Structure 1
Amino acid sequence: MNSGFGFKLVLLASAVVPHMAFAQTSDVGEPAAASAPDLSGEIVVTAQRRSERLQDIPASISALDSERLQAAGVVDISNIAPRIPGFYAGGFGASRPQLYIRGIGTRQFDPGSESSVGVFVDESYLGRTGGVLGTLKDIERVEVLKGPQGTLYGRNTIAGAINVITKGPTSTLSAEAEAGAGNYNSYDLFGAVSGPIAGDALKGRIAGWRSYRRGYVTNLTTGNHAQGLDNYGGRLRFEINPASNLKIDLIGEIMRDTGPSFQGESVGSTLNPNGILLGKATLVVPRTGDRYKQPYTTDTDYNRHVDAVTAKVQLETELADIVSVTSYRKMKYSDDRDFDNTVFDVIRQISVEDSKQFSQELRLVSNEDGALSFGGALNWILGVYYYDDKSYHQDTFDFGADSVVGEGGLDTTFGNYRTKSLAFFGQATIDITSTLNFTAGARYTEDRKRADLGGTTTDARPLVPAPFLQRNPEKKFTSFDPRFTLAWQPTRDLNFYASYGTGFKSGGYQYTPLSAAQAALVFDPEEIKAYEVGVKSVFLDGAVRANAGAFRYDYSNLQVSRVTLLPDGTTPSLITNAGKSRIEGGELDLTVTPMRSLELSLGYAYTKARYLDYVAGALDFSDTRMVRAPKHSVNLGAQYTAEIDDNNDLTFRVDYAYLSKFFHEPGQAEIRFGSTIPLTAESGYGLANARITYRMGDWKLSGWVQNLGDVDYRRTVLALPGQVINIYGQPRTWGFTLNWSI
């Protein structure tokens, strides 16, 4: 490992003040919205499948608790990214997120492929990418685990994992409510009630929410709006304690999204700013000069239904705890939009997906006081995991009068997918001395996949040349992923660690194949070898916390999705494997609390991510930068609380997040890779948020602004042959929120 810069970060953090002590609030230094930082507080996480103090875990983990989520105005997982060093989130909308941790991620969203960042809600894996961006309401905390999590979390966590833990029932009656309003006709309603139903034997919690925001992109043709939010949902939880050593958690959740989907601005290419994929060559795209106001042929329409049930059973025995997590999740969505994103009637795309997933995990977790723990010197976990997903995805391309086909052309691609996965895993930590411990773990995974892919056409062009149906035989992918960690903790507040582990992301099938030959193409699994060293430290009786790490990833068969123009004239979206890649970097997470009323935080990540060997047809991307991996990302936060009296205070909070230049497409914006590639570079930008909260006993009144500087930036781009479509991020938004809780 030769990332000298990253190692300097580790040395800096460990040498700041050699003899200090440091308390926790959260691993990213985000303070509560309406109260001064609690220097005595400890945050406990379950990232390693058992409850542990965050600073004791020898791994890079960040966490946001419920107060910090509320203070940040978090709507979904993508809002967390600017508060976590090395975490990037973009995408086309709720059904097409793009999550990247330390330069590793994916923009694939179909059932044939899967995310590189695993998202878990109450230990239930969200297998379909279209369902991971749910509204984060009534949340206890969110944990972000960086680096491959192959041992305890398994496949498709090659970049990391995100744990969302919802609030559970309480032993006493409690309630909370929230109402807010802001610009773009936005409003937000939330309520929750929790408490005992039959004493400690049965407790319950029910929560519901409704969020609306008019879209910030205007269709000048119709006057309607895209890029909005229209969501409602609810969650019901029961905690059953039939015996002192038995606990049963039952969780049911629904989520509904409707209204307009995403829309962007067509900017053509460097050779032809009027370029439109499959549009007539004579078309001239009108320019409005306002990226948020564009004429489109049709309005977008989006609908998503998600239903989920999770059952968690925990039985404590003298030797070990037996934990069972059973989950069933169903999702349907449809997405209808003007694909060419212009005033011309070229292509309309209608996407539909229907998926059902079942998972079962069974774990044995050592009891610290049990005989098999040898007086607490050995902690271990053994488990088995099963996953089954059935999905159907279809895309319909409806060609209009301004297309090269002419009005009435209709092409359809579709696929039936089935994924079954079985894994066995285990991990053990042994105390070599009172301050030195060693952890070894491994996971064996076996995925079995199959896909029947097809297409239809009305005119034998321009996308699907002829009807086809390709029935792919079952494909098996296997992986053995070990992990080793050595940790030295000389004091409670100083923790050094070094780790090595591997990760695995399953192979799969294509998204929109346009022929049987393309449908038969299977891409290989990704593999990673990860090295990391780090330190977690607490100084000055909790006034300073400095966590740092350095890492290196050796990557094989990175899966890259590109819309490609083939010699036969078709333009499929194909996934291919980049031969080898390397990522090196370092991170620093610093929180300083010079007084109880003031907290300052700094997060910094340096990432050097390059393709070492990546040839795609006639293009050689070797020795170019990887996509969505800015070299520098900075997160700054400051909070000051002025106490008025025992029940009243005023809190001021500002946050700033900066990303240096990065690229949405391979080729680092060089014209030699195509006429659209120079338009896919994203200049560095920074986003600032501010919030003022006045607390009056059980009430809180907040005024907030997101994107304070009204900065223009792109959430992502769609790079097509001869055409780039920009999907812009949210402009300045502001509003007021009233909270009440008992």
Structure 2
Amino acid sequence: MKAFWFATAAAVSIAGAAAAQTEPSTAGFAIEEIVVTAQKRSENLQDVPVSVTAITSQALQNQGVTNVMGLNNVAPGLRVSAGDAAANPKIFIRGVGLSDFNPNASSGVGVYVDGVFVGSPLAQMAGFYDLGQVEVLRGPQGTLYGRNTNGGAINVTTRRPTFTWTGDARAEYATYEAVNLQGGVGGPLVEDKLAFRLAGQMVEDNGYTFNRVTGDDVNATKYWAGRLSLLFTPTEDIEVLGKFERFSNRGDATAPQHRALFPSSAAVTGPNGLCMPGAYASGACTDLMGYADTDKDIRAGDYNQEGKDRVDTWNASTQIDWDLGSVALVSVTAFQHANRNALENTDSSPAQMIEINYRARAKAFTQELRLQSDDPSAALKWVLGGFYMDETIRDNSIQDVLRDYRPFFQSPENPLGISPDDSVAIFGYPYTQKTKSYALFGQADYSLTERLTVTAGLRYSADDKRFDYRSEIENGLATILTSKQDKTFSAWSGRLGARYALTDDVNVYATYNRGFKSGGFFGGLATTPTELEPYDNEKLDAFEIGLKGEFFDRRLRFNASGFYYDYQDQQVFAQALRNGLTVLVLDNAASSKVWGAEFELTARPTANLQLDAGLSLLDAEYGDFISEGQDYTGNRLPQAPKATLNLAANHILPLGSAGEIVTHLDATYSSKIYFDNSNAERLSQDGVWVAGAQVSWRAPSGGLEAGVFARNLFDENWFVSISNIDSLGVDLLTYNRPRSLGVFLRYSY
């Protein structure tokens, strides 16, 4: 408890990045108001009884955030990682999320872009560009938001068309010949009736890992994106916003580092039978095929195959807002399509031990319809709505396992040299999952007095899932098993809360939220019917208290919250041994208790200096949890650091008629995390600090800006992801990007 109170005091006194890192204004000392849409209507951040962090487009650019991966540790309690280059981000808020990377998996954190639910993990790594802001909602959003938001939601808003001409462009050039080009232009097509905005982004670099086999650099980035938005206002009461978006990734598949696990002698054998930590690169430990990477260079490897992570997405959406006087009708319709074909050198070695070709398609139609009050001064504010989704996922991935062992099994009767009993074959698992999701929801906020407002919300959700699965050998030469299943997963979720205004600038609130995540079917390689048995819903009861306040004539903003989670029937992604090969399974394996506190501070000590800070304290442990004979009871949840801290400072130095110098500094810290339920030390990352800086000159008009930046300023190295394949004697270590030094030029009008 002493550490808790010390950290609380530290959060009030420390400077850095967290909440909405708005650009400092020379107009005065007051911190700018932040408007969020966390409750499906525009409100002042300080009046919303929800733990939410709003991050502006300028703050995202300052820290080099180009997709959802860059949000890691930018807001308290938020952690984002990935073992893939262009798909399947693993998003956790307050320790709640999911590590499953299969295309039919659903994270516990919902991603929304302009009100549209982006459910497919194939589409969640699309680029961030031409944004308004990003809101990070912490805790279950079980009433107003769509599917599977028991951990929270990331709400992305893009820039809207306007009836005045605007344009902007930004170009960056950095280490590894990295180029980031983005911009947008828009204006009226028909005065006061039709406006457009066209925006795009192109990001690429030459890669930062040397392949000793081919002499090429790998881990290269290459993607582009574009968006056309149209705003139509046929009358004063009707507004139609239409969008079409395209994203295409042609960069490299992730090439991790190889860590050998099989010891050659007792002298290098640890207590678990695997290699001792100090001997990983000694040459005395190898993988199943006798390979070891011994040079200790984390930016080089031996890769016989250089794969690509090809991802293409197409999205089209329409939002209609109809003002009916005291109420408004809102309709959000969207079509989404995503393809992925990723060929990876899974074993990260020069041998053909295991190589996987991920091939998946996802398409979805979603419709949300809301009728809501439209008078911000009314005592009663309410929302009634319905949500529908029709989604189809098709997967046809294959795993080529132990190909180099085929000569040992070849014969006239077996010219292919396959031996499924020894896991020597190409294993495929084509399946189709069709989901129809329905929901009805409502929420009301009623002001009992001028200072006391109570909230009640309720949502009923149902997912009807049809699953047609087959696992096979050698592209259909033989079938391992087939399964056809149909099951509906339904649940009630909701919200109760109260907010009390102590003063005009200070609010306190207390809430109870019930969140749930739909059950489903495992979408990886399965060899037994048991692995395909449906897993059930998981549910989370969250209790939270909070304070939001502004002090000293709005020169200081301080928000704090404390929470407790009762996390039940938790869907856990775990390893199991099947036919001598390590596989991954998904099941309801545990319940957990999670509690913690978060603090956010923004200070404006002078007109030209803004300081921001965010601190998260988290205790997240499994309850009774036994998996494959291993007892994980009391272990920390994966991706759940005990503490995270994010800091930033923005300063403007006026130069009179010569313009101004703008300086940005940021830093983040995350304490130790585990990547696996076992809490094995080798599958963890110790605490790490990461810093960045940017200095620029801005013209007096504000339209032109040029500067330099450094990201990962001190060139720290840390694990972004660790995937262990114990049965093949290898850990796959995905490291962060190294330090990036660059220049940028920005123009806007």
2:460 corresponds to 1:444: yes
Does the 8 A contact of 2:104 with 2:120 survive in 1?
no
Letter in 1 for 2:698: R
CA-CA distance at 1:27 after TM superposition: 6.6
Which residue, 423, 440, 449 being the options, matches 1:424?
440
2:693 corresponds to 1:693: no
Match of residue 192 from structure 2: 200
Which residue, 682, 687, 693 being the options, matches 1:684?
687
- TM-score between both structures, scaled by the size of structure 2: 0.91
State the distance in 2 between where 1:498 and 1:450 align: 40
CA-CA distance at 1:9 after TM superposition: 7.7
Q: Which shifted more, 656-665 or 30-39?
A: 30-39
Which residue, 615, 638, 643 being the options, matches 1:632?
643
Match of residue 471 from structure 1: 483
Match of residue 413 from structure 2: none
Q: Residues 179-226 of structure 1, C-alpha deviation per residue, up to 9 Å, x if partnerless?
A: 221111111222211111111111111112211122212211112233
Does the 8 A contact of 1:10 with 1:535 survive in 2?
no
Distance 1:615 1:178, change over 3 A: same
Match of residue 222 from structure 1: 214
Match of residue 51 from structure 1: 42
Match of residue 310 from structure 1: 317
Match of residue 343 from structure 1: 350
CA-CA distance at 1:629 after TM superposition: 0.5
Letter in 2 for 1:95: A
Aligned length: 711
2:519 corresponds to 1:517: no
Secondary structure of the residue aligned to 1:68 is: helix
Secondary structure of the residue aligned to 1:235 is: strand
Secondary structure of the residue aligned to 1:343 is: coil
CA-CA distance at 1:13 after TM superposition: 8.5
Which residue, 145, 148, 151 being the options, matches 1:156?
148
Letter in 2 for 1:526: E
State the distance in 2 between where 1:559 and 1:64 align: 30
2:590 corresponds to 1:579: yes
CA-CA distance at 1:558 after TM superposition: 1.4
Does the 8 A contact of 1:390 with 1:418 survive in 2?
yes
State the distance in 1 between where 2:8 and 2:474 align: 62
- TM-score between both structures, scaled by the size of structure 1: 0.91
Which residue, 471, 474, 493 being the options, matches 2:505?
493
Q: Residues 374-393 of structure 1, C-alpha deviation per residue, up to 9 Å, x if partnerless?
A: x7110000000001110111
Match of residue 182 from structure 2: 190
CA-CA distance at 1:572 after TM superposition: 2.4
The 5 A counterparts of 1:7-46 are: 28-32=19-23, 39=30, 41-46=32-37
Match of residue 63 from structure 1: 54
Letter in 2 for 1:508: G
Match of residue 626 from structure 2: 615
Match of residue 170 from structure 2: 178
Does the 8 A contact of 1:31 with 1:37 survive in 2?
no
Distance 1:324 1:181, change over 3 A: same
Match of residue 707 from structure 1: 712
Distance 1:486 1:511, change over 3 A: same
Which residue, 99, 111, 115 being the options, matches 2:91?
99
2:730 corresponds to 1:723: yes
Does the 8 A contact of 1:6 with 1:550 survive in 2?
no
Q: Which shifted more, 106-115 or 496-505?
A: 106-115
Q: Residues 337-373 of structure 1, C-alpha deviation per residue, up to 9 Å, x if partnerless?
A: 111111222122111111111100000011217xxxx
Q: Residues 131-178 of structure 1, C-alpha deviation per residue, up to 9 Å, x if partnerless?
A: 111111100111000001011113311110001100001121111112
State the distance in 2 between where 1:480 and 1:706 align: 44
Letter in 2 for 1:283: G
Does the 8 A contact of 1:285 with 1:343 survive in 2?
no
Match of residue 547 from structure 2: 535
Q: Which shifted more, 406-415 or 688-697?
A: 406-415
Letter in 1 for 2:532: A
State the distance in 2 between where 1:49 and 1:356 align: 25
Q: Which shifted more, 56-65 or 344-353?
A: 344-353
Distance 1:257 1:56, change over 3 A: same
State the distance in 1 between where 2:619 and 2:254 align: 31
Q: Residues 602-652 of structure 1, C-alpha deviation per residue, up to 9 Å, x if partnerless?
A: 211100000011111211111111111110111121222101125611011
Match of residue 381 from structure 1: 383
Distance 1:643 1:413, change over 3 A: same
Letter in 1 for 2:638: V
Does the 8 A contact of 1:26 with 1:63 survive in 2?
no
Distance 1:199 1:176, change over 3 A: same
2:697 corresponds to 1:648: no
Q: Residues 388-431 of structure 1, C-alpha deviation per residue, up to 9 Å, x if partnerless?
A: 11011122122455347867732212211111110000000010
State the distance in 2 between where 1:220 and 1:231 align: 25
Match of residue 412 from structure 2: none
Match of residue 426 from structure 2: 410
Secondary structure of the residue aligned to 1:70 is: helix
Structure 2 alignment gaps of length 5 or more = 262-269, 409-416, 419-424
2:94 corresponds to 1:89: no
CA-CA distance at 1:451 after TM superposition: 1.2
Match of residue 248 from structure 2: 256
Letter in 2 for 1:378: L
Q: Which shifted more, 95-104 or 237-246?
A: 95-104
State the distance in 2 between where 1:552 and 1:449 align: 32
Q: Residues 426-483 of structure 1, C-alpha deviation per residue, up to 9 Å, x if partnerless?
A: 0000101100010000100011112111122149xxxx99613423321111110120
Secondary structure of the residue aligned to 1:69 is: helix
2:293 corresponds to 1:286: yes
Match of residue 20 from structure 1: none
CA-CA distance at 1:590 after TM superposition: 1.1
State the distance in 1 between where 2:452 and 2:25 align: 39
State the distance in 1 between where 2:593 and 2:477 align: 39
Q: Residues 537-576 of structure 1, C-alpha deviation per residue, up to 9 Å, x if partnerless?
A: 101112111110000101011111123213x434321112
Does the 8 A contact of 2:453 with 2:500 survive in 1?
yes
State the distance in 2 between where 1:11 and 1:284 align: 51
Match of residue 298 from structure 1: 305
Distance 1:520 1:465, change over 3 A: farther
State the distance in 2 between where 1:526 and 1:292 align: 40
Which residue, 558, 571, 576 being the options, matches 1:559?
571
Does the 8 A contact of 2:260 with 2:291 survive in 1?
no
Runs of 4+ in 1 over 3 A off after TM superposition: 3-14, 33-38, 272-276, 279-282, 399-409
Distance 1:26 1:427, change over 3 A: farther
Distance 1:339 1:597, change over 3 A: same
Quote the RMSD (CA, aligned, Å): 2.5
Match of residue 19 from structure 1: none
Match of residue 119 from structure 2: 127
State the distance in 2 between where 1:143 and 1:251 align: 20
Distance 1:411 1:351, change over 3 A: same
Q: Residues 687-738 of structure 1, C-alpha deviation per residue, up to 9 Å, x if partnerless?
A: 0011111101310112111101111101011022242111111110111110
State the distance in 1 between where 2:482 and 2:63 align: 48
State the distance in 2 between where 1:173 and 1:710 align: 41
Does the 8 A contact of 1:9 with 1:586 survive in 2?
no
Which residue, 58, 62, 77 being the options, matches 2:68?
77
Match of residue 395 from structure 2: 393
CA-CA distance at 1:227 after TM superposition: 2.4
Q: Which shifted more, 93-102 or 708-717?
A: 93-102
State the distance in 1 between where 2:250 and 2:297 align: 26
Secondary structure of the residue aligned to 2:463 is: strand
CA-CA distance at 1:492 after TM superposition: 2.7
Does the 8 A contact of 1:204 with 1:237 survive in 2?
yes
Q: Which shifted more, 26-35 or 216-225?
A: 26-35
State the distance in 2 between where 1:667 and 1:516 align: 24
State the distance in 2 between where 1:280 and 1:650 align: 54
